[in-house]
């Protein structure tokens, strides 16, 4: 059986800390979607460790780590990340079905965003979308192709017919087929020892009764189908994506643990009903260190949206919820929570498809002085306890963990 950690907002919820906290109790940690556009920051003994493609279980020597078929991989980025760790052979396994982000994907990604001007999605420009686009149009290159150089070259030559046409529309130059093939061949020997059929690997692990933890990237509100389309990522970020991105069956997923901040953030463009553009938003950003792990971009910040979190928990079938960064709200005199929306001259408690047409309805809570570093629920200020209990009622899902700082051990278990 496998358990699953999934983001419940627009990403950056603190999934890395929870996966790191739980990983010691699992045999395998599996990353099942996204690319190096996502990042998990883990703090151990005050030292920050940023992961982009490697699963968070990489910090535990006894844990095996899998990059599943649903991930798109920039080989240079992966090898650079791997270089920070020793003895990865036998601990890291990369799916032979995972697709490779090629140099021209990044060029086309940036050119497309630039051409949209004010309607740009706000992507990281790392080629994630174009790579997934090639995948679904059956024009992709997979890691297994690195084992067959002639097939690899033939595939890239075929793909280039369409890629060059797209490049001409955007007025950009692409590297030659020869340069792309040469680039991949220069990395081939470094990555080949880690490439395997990870679906079979996980099935065999299940037969042995070993424990598997799946971790996603981004958040549920960025899901390609159920998120705030078109301002979403290019993959399935919800629990269902864990199956398609790893080869595990739906019946194999046992616990689904949702992760949400005690407030809310978003990177890139798109609807964000509870966003605070003034002093409050800036205070949340500075106190929470809300700058992207991958890009360094400042995140948009706002109040907790209970309607959106309830929606995402339902999408994922969450058994429990972990609330992160409670300490960022320390010192606020009043704290707001969105409990409904104004929509078409009426009040609603759900997310309509035309989400950009809603206005938040808030409930206010009394603030508190300090929660930072507290590890016992009963030791929290009374108003912080009330806040957590009321969030639990509004969402309808049990809150099982509360993080009170970035440190691994500053976590309350309920």
Tell me: do 336 and 363 sit in the same domain: yes
What's the whole-number average pLDDT of the chain?
92
- Note the pLDDT of residue 293: 65
Residue 293 marked as a ligand binder: yes
61 & 209 share domain: yes
Residue 56 confidence (pLDDT): 85
Confidence label for 253 from pLDDT (cuts 50, 70 and 90): very high
Nearest to 372 by CA among 299, 276, 257, 287: 287
Residues 167 and 313 both lie in one domain: no
Is 233 labeled as ligand-binding? yes
Residue that terminates a domain, selected from 191, 209, 227: 191
Instruction: Report, in this order, helix, strand and coil percent for the chain, each rounded to 5.
Output: 40, 25, 40
Same structural domain, 325 and 399:
yes
Count how many residues are written for the chain.
Answer: 414
Model confidence over 359-409: pLDDT tens digits? 999 999 999 999 999 999 999 999 999 999 999 999 999 999 999 999 989
Check the annotation: does 41 bind a ligand: yes
* 251 annotated as ligand-binding: no
What digits encode the pLDDT tens for the residues 302-360?
999 999 999 999 999 999 999 999 999 999 999 999 999 999 999 999 999 999 999 99
228 and 186, same domain (yes or no): no
Q: Going by C-beta distance under 8 Å and a sequence separation of 6 or more, which residues neighbour residue 396?
A: 310, 313
The mean per-residue pLDDT over the stretch 26-51 comes to 80
39: annotated binding-site residue? yes
Highest mean pLDDT among 152-161, 168-177, 387-396: 387-396
pLDDT higher than threshold 60 for residue 120: no
**What is the reported pLDDT for 126?**
86
Q: What's the CA gap between 26 and 202, in Å, rounded?
A: 13
pLDDT score for 297? 82
Residue 239: the pLDDT is 96
What's 40's domain CATH number? 3.40.440.10
Contacts from 200-203 at CB under 8 Å and sequence distance 24+? 201/66, 201/93, 202/28, 202/30, 202/66, 202/246, 202/247, 202/248, 203/247
Q: Are 108 and 163 in contact (CB under 8 A)?
A: yes
Q: What's the pLDDT score for residue 408? A: 86
- CATH number of the domain within which 183 lies: 1.10.300.10
Instruction: Mention every residue, 6+ apart, whose C-beta is less than 8 A from residue 192.
Output: 146, 147
pLDDT score of 225: 96
Query: Is 295 labeled as ligand-binding?
Result: yes
Asked if 234 and 34 count as a contact pair (C-beta separation under 8 A), the reply is no
Distance between first and last Cα of the chain: 23
| H helix count then E strand count, the chain | 11, 20
Q: Is 12 annotated as a binding residue?
A: yes
Nearest to 198 by CA among 32, 72, 22: 32
Q: Residue range 251-265: average pLDDT?
A: 97
**Least confident residue range of 120-124, 131-135, 136-140, 153-157:** 120-124
Residue 90: left (phi > 0), alpha (psi -120 to 50), or beta?
A: left
Do 281 and 398 sit in the same domain of this protein?
Answer: yes
273 and 350, same structural domain? yes
What is d(CA 238, CA 221) in angstroms, rounded to the nearest whole number? 9
Closest CA to 126 of 43, 201, 233: 233
Give the C-alpha separation, 102 to 27, whole Å. 32
Per-residue pLDDT for 73 more than 60?
A: yes
How far from chain centre, in Å, is Cα 139?
Answer: 25
Active site positions, annotated: 12, 40, 135
Domain span at residue 63 reads: 2-95+195-256
Q: Are 6 and 237 in contact (CB under 8 A)?
A: yes
353 is in an annotated binding site: no
Q: Residues with Cβ < 8 Å from 168, sequence gap 6 or more? A: none
Q: Report the C-alpha dihedral over residues 370, 374, 377, 381, rounded to 10 degrees.
A: -20
Peptide bond into 7 cis (omega under 30): no
Whether residue 212 is found in the same domain as residue 343 = no
Least Cα distance to 312 among 397, 244, 221 occurs for 221
Whether 54 and 201 share a structural domain: yes
pLDDT band at 231 (very low <50, low <70, confident <90, very high): very high
Query: 212-215 and 346-348 as β-strands: parallel, antiparallel, unpaired?
Result: unpaired
Please state the domain count of the chain.
3
**Higher-confidence position of 223 and 124:** 223
Read off the pLDDT of residues 38-50 as tens digits, 9 standing for 90 and up: 666 676 666 677 7
109 is in an annotated binding site: no
138 is in an annotated binding site: yes
Mode of pairing for the β-strands spanning 72-73 and 99-100: parallel
**Same domain, residue pair 356 and 396:** yes
Instruction: Judge if 76 and 139 occupy the same domain.
Output: no
What token pair was written down for 87? Answer: 């003895």
Return the percentage of the chain with pLDDT > 70, whole number.
Answer: 95
Predicted local confidence at residue 45, as pLDDT: 65
Which pLDDT tens digit goes with each residue over 196-226? 999 999 999 999 999 999 998 889 999 999 9
User: Does residue 62 contact residue 90 with C-beta atoms inside 8 Å?
Assistant: no
> Do 163 and 104 share a structural domain?
yes
Question: What pTM was estimated for this model as a whole?
Answer: 0.91
Question: 34 pLDDT exceeds 70?
Answer: yes
């Amino acid at each position: 059986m496998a358990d699953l950690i999934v983001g419940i907002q627009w990403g950056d919820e603190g999934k890395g800390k929870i996966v790191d906290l739980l990983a010691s109790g699992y045999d395998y940690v599996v990353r099942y979607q996204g690319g190096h556009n996502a990042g998990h920051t883990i703090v151990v003994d005050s030292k920050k460790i940023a992961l982009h493609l490697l699963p968070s279980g990489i910090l535990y020597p006894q844990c095996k780590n899998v990059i599943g078929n649903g991930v798109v991989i920039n080989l240079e980025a992966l090898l650079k990340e791997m270089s920070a760790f020793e003895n990865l052979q036998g601990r890291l396994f990369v799916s032979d079905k995972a697709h490779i982000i090629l140099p021209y994907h990044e060029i086309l990604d940036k050119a497309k965003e630039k051409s949209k001007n004010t309607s740009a999605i706000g992507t990281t420009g790392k080629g994630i979308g174009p790579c997934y686009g090639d995948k679904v149009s059956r024009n992709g290159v997979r890691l297994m192709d690195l084992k067959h150089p002639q097939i690899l070259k033939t595939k890239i030559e075929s793909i280039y017919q369409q890629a060059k046409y797209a490049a001409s529309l955007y007025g950009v130059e692409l590297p030659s087929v020869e340069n792309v093939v040469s680039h991949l061949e220069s990395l081939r020997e470094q990555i080949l020892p880690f490439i395997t059929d990870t679906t079979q690997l996980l099935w065999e692990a299940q037969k042995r009764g070993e424990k598997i933890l799946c971790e996603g990237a981004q958040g549920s509100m960025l899901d390609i189908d159920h998120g705030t389309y078109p301002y979403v990522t290019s993959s399935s970020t919800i629990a269902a994506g864990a199956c398609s991105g790893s080869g595990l069956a739906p019946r194999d997923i046992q616990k689904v643990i949702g992760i949400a901040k005690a407030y809310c953030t978003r990177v890139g463009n798109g609807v964000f009903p509870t966003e605070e553009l003034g002093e409050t938003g800036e205070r949340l950003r500075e106190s929470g260190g809300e700058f992207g792990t991958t890009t360094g971009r400042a995140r948009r910040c706002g109040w907790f949206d209970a309607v959106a979190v309830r929606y995402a928990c339902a999408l994922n079938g969450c058994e429990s919820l972990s609330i992160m960064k409670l300490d960022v709200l320390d010192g606020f005199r009043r704290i707001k929570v969105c409990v409904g929306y104004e929509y078409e001259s009426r009040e609603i408690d759900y997310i309509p498809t035309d989400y950009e047409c809603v206005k938040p309805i808030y409930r206010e809570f009394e603030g508190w002085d300090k929660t930072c570093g507290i590890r016992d629920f009963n030791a929290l200020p009374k108003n912080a306890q009330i806040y957590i209990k009321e969030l639990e009622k509004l969402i309808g899902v049990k809150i099982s963990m509360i993080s009170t700082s970035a440190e691994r051990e500053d976590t309350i278990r309920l």
